[in-house]
Amino acid sequence: MADLFSDSALLQDIDRYIREQGDAVVRDIARLVAIPSVEGTPEDGAPYGRAPRQALACGLDIAAELGLRTVVCEDRLGYAEIGEDRGEGYLATITHLDVVPAGDGWPADPFTLREQDGYLLGRGVMDDKGPSVLCLYALKYLQDSGRKLRYPLRALLGSNEETGMGDVDYYIENYPAPLFLISPDADFPLINGEKGIYQALLIARHQPDRVLSISGGVAPNAVPAKATARVRADSLAGSEKVRAVCVEPGIWELTAEGISGHASTPEGTVNAIGLIVDYLLENEIPGPAEFPYFRFLQKLHAATNGSGLGLESSDGRFTPLTAVGGQISTENGVVTQTIDCRYGTTMSGEKIIALLREQAGDAADVQQTADSVPFYISPDHPAIQACIECYNFVTGENQAPYTIGGGTYARHFPKACAFGPEHKDRPMPSFCGSIHGVNEAASRADFMEALKIYILALFRLEELEY
């Protein structure tokens, strides 16, 4: 294949295709949005519940209508495929057809696609039903182009991304891995690395004495906006950040409000649990047996870079390590604090747990609950270069790949990257919302641009040796 970027006949033909298919793309996104594919009770033939299975069936119907071969992988996920197997392996895209619940506050039915001023609105339009349809239409273009494909190309359609990614774990265990895979389930330009994710419980060993209970946070991977504690004290004065109310003689309730955010991007957040813990220690509330545990928590909450616990690290590939204590609870007198660390290639789960145990001393048990190693592929890898060059060619920008602290489908595959199609850099009107939120929206024009990027990138990936 000669240089794609100077093949004006091809580029014009892709533009024509996208113009002609635009309405069909939107219609097919609407068909998928209409299925509220939130994980449900497992049934025969529907391991993640009936609705995600229906969405998978609908996605494969769309693929078949476009003339693509389709395969269902034991009801967990499926794929559309083009090209012939030459025994050299295959390339793939992966997206997902399950969604998070709609939540409250929508001005119209979240499962009926709306179009307003060039934006598509509905649960799943951006995450990840729209991108799923774009992948299928990209495959159709490559197939209909009549160009010889060196590697067969699969558009994998997952149905369990939002709640555990069991679909892709199953696929990787039971099917050969692709030579290279792109996952349009994140942001442009291109994500070539995802930090390791380590989570543990820090379980207090003391019996409550003066701190009767403490609770706060909604999830281990979110900085908490609210926290409360019940303590024994004669008299307390609230502070700027913590309210103290006497609820019965000698018993006080403390409440703090912080600023929430995702654990992988804690800059600018304020941890409400940290505010309470600081207040407890400043006011010398914990008894002698309680003190070491709350002093340990104070070190955790002191800084989101983990420096209070000696976890600080950076490797030049990723942004520095983050450590967030997202949730705290008291059950049967036992206080449990969560910790979520996002770490780079110079750290490991083993090192993190060793440092936590050293800092905890006799005050807490440290129980690991999750550890997923960092995922990294060099920005100089030819496949990464091919994708980013297509992005820059189509948009006229000059962007470079970047790394994140979150986790996408990409990390489950040996050679992969997350590649669009969200543009955090392009502001949307106020009636538009973000993924997982109310009025989830996507720009129709951006989707059409993304389709062109994906078509070109898949052609370029077909040219490479793996």
Instruction: Check binding of 127 to Zn ion (CB under 5 A).
Output: yes
Q: CB 409 → Zn ion: shortest distance, Å?
A: 8
Residue closer to Zn ion by CB (options 286, 420) is 420
Selection from 344, 336, 328 nearest residue 360 by Cα: 336
Question: In this chain, which stretch among 49-57, 77-85, 122-130, 273-281 interacts with Zn ion, using CB under 5 A?
Answer: 122-130
Residue of the chain from 185, 278, 290, 422 that contacts Zn ion (CB under 5 A) = 185
Residue closer to Zn ion by CB (options 167, 185) is 185
Q: Please check whether residue 226 is in contact with residue 257, taking contact to mean a CB–CB distance below 8 angstroms.
A: yes
Q: CB 128 → Zn ion: shortest distance, Å?
A: 4
SS3 state at 231: strand
What is the C-alpha separation between 289 and 363, in angstroms, rounded?
Answer: 9
Residue closer to Zn ion by CB (options 337, 439) is 439
Structure token pair of residue 340: 């979520």
What is the C-alpha separation between 227 and 225, in angstroms, rounded?
Answer: 7
Residue closer to Zn ion by CB (options 97, 256) is 97
Q: CB 418 → Zn ion: shortest distance, Å?
A: 10
Residue of the chain from 128, 340, 440, 462 that contacts Zn ion (CB under 5 A) = 128
What is the C-alpha separation between 391 and 190, in angstroms, rounded?
Answer: 9
Neighbours of 47 (CB within 10 A): 18
Residue closer to Zn ion by CB (options 142, 157) is 157
Q: CB 127 → Zn ion: shortest distance, Å?
A: 4
Structure token pair of residue 401: 């790949």
Burial degree of 20 (CB within 10 A; 0-12, 13-18, 19+): exposed
Residue closer to Zn ion by CB (options 158, 178) is 158
Selection from 376, 364, 298, 311 nearest residue 340 by Cα: 311
Q: CB 138 → Zn ion: shortest distance, Å?
A: 18
Structure token pair of residue 82: 């083009």
CA 379 to mean position of chain CA atoms: 20
Residue closer to Zn ion by CB (options 81, 185) is 185
Q: CB 165 → Zn ion: shortest distance, Å?
A: 10
Q: CB 123 → Zn ion: shortest distance, Å?
A: 12
What is the C-alpha separation between 300 and 157, in angstroms, rounded?
Answer: 40
Question: In this chain, which stretch among 125-133, 246-254, 328-336, 437-445 interacts with Zn ion, using CB under 5 A?
Answer: 125-133
Structure token pair of residue 214: 């403490």
Catalog residues that contact Zn ion under the rule CB under 5 A.
127-128, 185
